[in-house]
Chain A
Amino acid sequence: MTTADHAASNPLPGVSTTKFAFWLFLASEVLFFAGLISAYVLMRIVSPSWPDVSELLNIPLVAANTSILLVSSVTMVYALASIEAGDQSKLRRFLIATAVLGTIFVSIQAVEWVQLIGEGVSVSNNVFGSTFYVLTGFHGLHVLIGILFLFLTVYRAFRGRYTRTEHGGVELMGLYWHFVDIVWIFLFTIIYLV
């Protein structure tokens, strides 16, 4: 229960206290990734020996993986739309779909890591390795946390905790999931494409 229950007035109609705070949390997350990304950009600009990423990295695989993550954002949108229409079974199905797609994404990322480690790319033999594993790793960690919360949301959906009017949890889950997705689009662009 938030203290908002006792508040006399809401200066931002339609925005719950929790949602407002969650936006602030996401803003701080943006700055966290901005710190990591600026480290990556600086190190790459000044590095005398950056490897040819199009040769080293399996770009088709990761591009396919990127589209899986994008599709999971779409299913997340449908999950929210379903509960807004009051459709409980569709909500559950789309939430499960999102969680499964997310799981596929991290699994493929794990496969990619194993391949690279097999080829001798490690965190400590050059700055490419350091930045690559740290950036993709922290993003992967965010996806994993997202999957955990997705399963929690699925569990709550099965318990009937969300209704047509009361579904803030699904909304916040969606915000987080889209955020993680957007961060990946940035990372994919600067690490794999540029």
Chain B
Amino acid sequence: MTETAELSFVRRYVFSTDHKVIGKQFLFTAMGFFTLGGILALLMRTQLAWPWQEIPVIGKLLFGSGGNILPPETYPALVTMHGTIMIFFFIIPILSGALGNFLIPLMIGAKDMAFPRLNLFSYWVMVPAFIVMLASFFVATGPAAAGWTSYVPLSILKDAIPGSEMGQTLWVLSMMLVGTSSILGAINYITTIVMLRAPGMDMFRLPMTIWALFVTAILATFATPVLTAALILMFLDRTIGTLFFAAGEGQVILWQHLFWFYSHPAVYIMILPAMGVASDIISTFSRKPLFGYKPMVYSIMAIAALGFTVWGHHMFVSGMNPLLGLTFMTSTMLIALPSAIKTFNWLGTLWGGNLQLRAPMLNALAFVSTFVIGGLSGIFSAATPVDIFLHDTYWIVGHIHYVLFGGSLFGVFAGVQYWFPKMFGRMMSDGWGRIHFILTFVTFNLIFLPMFVLGGYGMPRRIADPYVYEMFTNLQGLNQFMTYALYVLALSQFILAGNFFYSLFRGKVAGKNPWKANTLEWTLDSPPPHENFEHIPTVYRGPYEYSSPLVSADWLAQDQYLDGTKPPEVMPAPAVSPAAGD
């Protein structure tokens, strides 16, 4: 504590080892990339609504030399960079990077992460990744354009498309750095959660957010290295001429196997933390214990374990052995079971609860309902015969956005607004939060629900002008409608941004525990001091003791001592090894 005052500005806010500061660094960078990814989406949808028309304002800025019109070779680059940025530079960093960093030590009762300097490094290794990916927008041949999946041989043959020149190499380099950051962060999270829990904080007293982040970190530790290996092979193919994925002798399908071995678990890396966040928020604002805590934990584990066995469901039309396809289909459908357990437990938590429809709660409820649509649509695409028709149509685009926007992003909206008071010491406006929510929720469904219809018509994804095919010309009206809805959705985000930044400076002072929640972070000042806890708390119970008959208040903090509560067994002090260089 004493050394804090002496730390320079740079050590405190730039190269800080404080997990709370690193969490906020991830938060603000991710918000920047959310804006960029959104602009790319606006350009794409404008093109789909009115192909090859002059784009007002932005068009002059970006494509002034081409008559303010989107050049044909730019559209696939938009698709690629929108996906890459939203997944790897927004959703994963804001869930695992921002919420994970900020919450893990606070919620388990620790002073910081197990390895604060490694934590600092896992943010700062992202910075060159940001720079390299952004730089790829400015190379002459443009950024990568082979899709966020970067399928070979498109991504290997340099003369296939302009994006497969320098842009693709920069994409590969940036993704390797992102992977390194993920692995280092994940190892730190797992170690912290296993080793640094406060006395009495048994694994089965952890809040669901922590359980979700824990399982997510395990997924990241085991899946990301395989992507790193694949990226290295792609890099070598592109630079020194190895033949791993080359047409001819190389194995085109090998890339898909390695890529999806990572990227299917990555879907859970993107959704599990949001599930944890939603569980905590729904319990708090229902003033009821989470229904079926242990089944919720086991379901997360089951989803993660099954998640390693299903990657081939992305490859039904790749020419893979159909028998293999059958096993992938079966394992994929099994995931519906633990997912359904989670959904029913959320409903069970709400049932008979004393619901408080604050902005975080509304977003958490949106998470549950859109996740159901996303999950159910996934079962359709998991069935091989159905998928052969739906593959690469807008059905898939609708599905992924119901899971990643409807699921993860509403989870992010919920989580950021719920923990904003703890992060910054002030409240966000609940009224503006609700207006943002209702506008976003309605326009979200207006954009993405029609995608299932487009997919049913067979409209292919990643095509700049579907109307060159006569069979799709009747879909232009629907596409224009969706684009208008996107414009409203995009404008609505200014409400969120305005609410966020205004509240940062002028919001109502929050106090320690504005939501009357039970978990340990709410026992601290807002924002918590350096090293969080002056004295490590003792935990007496689980995180969801709302409306407990033991006390008159409708909440009972995890560290509140009641007469007759059994104190936890005190375990021996840790052996600290001298090699602990970090």
* A interface list, Cβ under 8 A from B: 1-21, 24-25, 27-29, 31-36, 38-39, 42-43, 46-47, 123-124, 126-127, 129-131, 133-134, 138, 161-163, 166-169, 171-172
CA distance A16 to B573 in the complex (A): 11
- Residue of B242, B571, B580 near A168 (CB, 8 A) is B580
Would you call A162 and B116 a contact (CB within 8 A)? no
Question: Are A19 and B251 in contact (CB-based, < 8 A)?
Answer: no
A and B contact pairs by CB, cutoff 8 A, 21 listed: A1-B580, A3-B110, A9-B570, A10-B195, A10-B572, A11-B571, A13-B575, A16-B574, A17-B196, A18-B581, A20-B191, A25-B187, A28-B187, A33-B229, A34-B225, A34-B226, A35-B226, A35-B227, A35-B228, A39-B258, A126-B249
- Given A21-B114, A31-B226, 12 more A-B residue pairs with CB atoms under 8 Å apart are A3-B113, A3-B192, A8-B199, A9-B571, A10-B572, A17-B115, A17-B580, A28-B187, A39-B229, A134-B236, A168-B580, A169-B579
Q: A3-B196, A8-B198, A20-B194 are in contact. Are A28 and B576 (CB under 8 A)?
A: no
Q: Decide: A8 and B536 in contact? CB cutoff 8 A.
A: yes
Contacts of A167 in B (CB 8 A): 578-579
A126 touches B243 (CB 8 A): yes
Cβ of A18 and Cβ of B579 under 8 Å apart?
Answer: yes
> Contact at A39–B111, with CB atoms within 8 Å?
no
Q: A126 to B228: give the CA distance in the assembly, Å.
A: 23
Q: Which of A25, A28, A134, A161 has the most CB of B within 10 A?
A: A28
Are A29 and B191 in contact, CB atoms less than 8 angstroms apart?
no
Q: Is the interface of A mostly helix, strand, loop or mixed?
A: helix
B233 at the binding interface (Cβ < 8 Å)? yes
Q: Which 8 A-B pairs have the closest CB atoms?
A: A168-B577, A35-B229, A168-B579, A10-B574, A124-B241, A169-B579, A16-B577, A9-B571
Contacts of A47 in B (CB 8 A): 249
Q: Which of B216-263 contact A (CB under 8 A)?
A: 221-230, 232-233, 236, 240-244, 249-251, 254, 257-258, 261
In contact, A3 and B112 (Cβ under 8 angstroms): yes
A24 touches B579 (CB 8 A): no
Chain B residue with Cβ nearest A25? B187
B positions within 8 Å CB-CB of A: 105, 109-116, 183, 186-188, 190-192, 194-199, 221-230, 232-233, 236, 240-244, 249-251, 254, 257-258, 261, 531, 536, 570-582
B578→A169 contact, CB < 8 A: yes
Neighbouring A residues of B242 by C-beta, 8 Å:
123-124, 129-130, 133-134
CB distance from A111 to the nearest CB of B (A): 21
Of B183, B244, B249, B575, the residue contacting A10 (CB under 8 A) is: B575
Contact A12:B183 (CB < 8 A) given known A5-B576, A168-B579: no
A25 contact set on B, CB distance < 8 A: 187
Q: How far is the CA of A133 from the CA of B240 in the complex (A)?
A: 11
A67 CA to B573 CA, complexed, in Å: 42
B579-A172 in contact (CB<8A): yes
- Option from B111, B194, B570, B575 in Cβ contact (under 8 Å) with A14: B575
> In the complex, which residues of chain A have a beta carbon less than 8 angstroms from the beta carbon of B229?
32-36, 39
Are the CB atoms of B183 and A4 closer together than 8 Å? no
Residues of A within 8 A of B571 (CB): 9-11, 13
Tell me whether A31 and B225 are in contact in the complex, defined as CB-CB below 8 angstroms, given that A3-B114, A24-B190 are known contacts. yes
CA distance A8 to B9 in the complex (A): 31
Contacts of A11 in B (CB 8 A): 194-195, 197, 571
Question: Taking the nearest CB of chain B, how far is it from the CB of A186, in angstroms?
Answer: 15
Query: Within the assembled complex, what's the spacing in Å between the Cα atoms of A162 and B578?
Result: 8
- In the complex, A171 Cα to B197 Cα: how many Å? 25
Chain B residues contacting A36 (CB-CB under 8 Å) are 229, 233
Tell me the bound Cα distance from A74 to B198 in angstroms: 40
Residue of A nearest to B218 (CB): A24
In the assembly, what is the distance between CA of A9 and CA of B222, in Å? 27
- A17 is contacted by which of B186, B191, B570 (Cβ under 8 Å)? B191
A2 near B222 (CB under 8 angstroms)? Answer: no
Q: Does B226 lie within 8 Å of A4, measured CB to CB?
A: no
